[in-house]
Amino acid sequence: MKDFKDIVSHFATEGTIDTVKPLGNGLINDTYIVRTAEPTAPDYVLQRINHNIFTDVETLQRNIQAVTAHIRRKLEAAGEDDIDRKVLRFLPVRDNTDRTYYFDGDSYWRMMVFIPRAHTLEAVNPESSRFAGEAFGRFQASLVDIPDTLKESIPDFHNMEFRLKQLHDAVAADPVGRVKEVQPLLDELESRAEEMCKAERLHREGKLPKRICHCDTKVNNMMFDEDGRILCVIDLDTVMPSFIFSDYGDFLRTGANTGAEDDKDLNRVEFNMDIFRAFTEGYLSSARGFLTPLEIENLPYAAALFPYMQAVRFLTDYINGDTYYKIQYPDHNLVRTRAQFKLLQSVEAHTPEMREFIAAQFA
Ligand code: GN1
Ligand code: MG
Q: What is the pLDDT of residues 250-266, one digit of tens each?
A: 999 999 999 999 999 99
167 Cα: distance to centroid of ligand 1 (angstroms): 17
Question: Which of the ligands is closest to the CA of residue 122?
Answer: 2
Distance CA 341, CA 262 (A): 11
Q: How far apart are CA 217 and CA 199, in angstroms?
A: 19
Hey, CA dihedral for 62, 111, 70, 233, is it positive or negative?
Answer: positive
Answer yes or no: are the C-beta atoms of 354 and 276 closer than 8 Å. yes
Q: Is the pLDDT of residue 111 over 60?
A: yes
Residues in the chain, how many?
363
Percent of the chain topping pLDDT 70: 99
- Mean pLDDT for the stretch of residues 149-164: 95
pLDDT band for position 3 (50/70/90)?
confident
Is residue 49 within 8 Å of residue 110, measured between CB atoms?
yes
Counting ligands in written order, which one lies closest to the CA of residue 220? 2
Report the atom number in ligand 1 closest to the C-alpha of 220.
5
pLDDT of residue 25: 75
254 within 8 A of 268, measured Cβ to Cβ: no
The most confident of the ranges 26-30, 103-107, 195-199 is: 195-199
**How much distance in Å is there from the Cα of 27 to the middle of ligand 1?**
6
Q: What is the mean pLDDT of residues 328-357?
A: 98
| Average of per-residue pLDDT across 26-37 | 90
**DSSP secondary structure letter of residue 256:** T
**DSSP 8-state code for residue 76:** H
pTM to 2 decimal places: 0.90
Q: Would you say the CB of residue 152 lies under 6 angstroms from ligand 1?
A: no
pLDDT bracket for residue 28 (50, 70, 90)? confident
pLDDT over 70 (residue 1): no
Kindly state the average pLDDT of the residues 82-88.
Answer: 94
What type of residue sits at position 107?
S
**Residues with Cβ within 8 Å of residue 26, at least 6 apart in sequence:** 235
Q: pLDDT tens digits for 279-313?
A: 999 999 999 999 999 999 999 999 999 999 999 99
Among 95-99, 240-244, 273-277, 299-303, the minimum mean pLDDT is found in: 95-99
**Alpha helix segments (H runs only) across the chain:** 4-9, 57-77, 126-142, 160-173, 183-191, 193-196, 198-204, 245-255, 273-287, 293-297, 299-319, 332-361
The pLDDT mean for the chain works out to 95
What contacts 222, CB < 8 A, 6 or more positions away?
120, 121, 132, 135, 230, 232, 233, 234
Q: Give the per-residue pLDDT at 66.
A: 95
Q: What is the pLDDT of residue 314?
A: 98
pLDDT digits (tens, 9 = 90+) for 191-228: 999 999 999 999 999 999 999 999 999 888 999 999 88
What average pLDDT does this structure show over 44-54? 94
Question: pLDDT-derived band of residue 93, with 50, 70 and 90 as boundaries?
Answer: very high
Rounded distance from Cα 213 to ligand 1 centre (Å): 14
Confidence (pLDDT) at 96:
76
Q: Which of 73, 64, 54, 68 is closest to 240 using CA atoms?
A: 64
